[in-house]
Amino acid sequence: MRSTGGLLVVAGAALMLIGLLVGTGALSWFGRLPGDLRFETEHTRVYIPLTSMLLLSLVFSLVAYVVRRML
């Protein structure tokens, strides 16, 4: 149980940091990376964030790997 509490504290701190970065505009580049597809016509907009989601998947996989190694 002790490691679960520490994990929750770290996850909460990480969410607060991400919220702070989003609030200040430091992550405004996310979603506008090369490889993110955007198609716009007069009545339709289609947005496919391929590169952004690959980057997010890589970060989550790295975090999961580190957490597993610590436990």
DSSP per-residue codes, 2-68: HHHHHHHHHHHHHHHHHHHHHHHTTTTTTT-STT-EEEE-SS-EEEE-HHHHHHHHHHHHHHHHHHH
Do 7 and 19 fall within a single domain?
Answer: yes
How many domains does the chain fold into? 2
Q: Does the pLDDT value for residue 29 go beyond 90? A: no
Domain of 46 in residue numbering reads as 33-71
**Percent of the chain beyond pLDDT 90?**
42
Give the percent of the chain with pLDDT over 70: 96
pTM, whole model, 2 decimals?
A: 0.68
With cut-offs at 50, 70 and 90, classify the pLDDT of residue 66: confident
Burial class (CB in 10 A: 0-12, 13-18, 19+), 49: middle
In the chain, the amino acid numbered 65 is: Y
Average pLDDT over residues 1-17: 80
Same domain, 63 and 46: yes
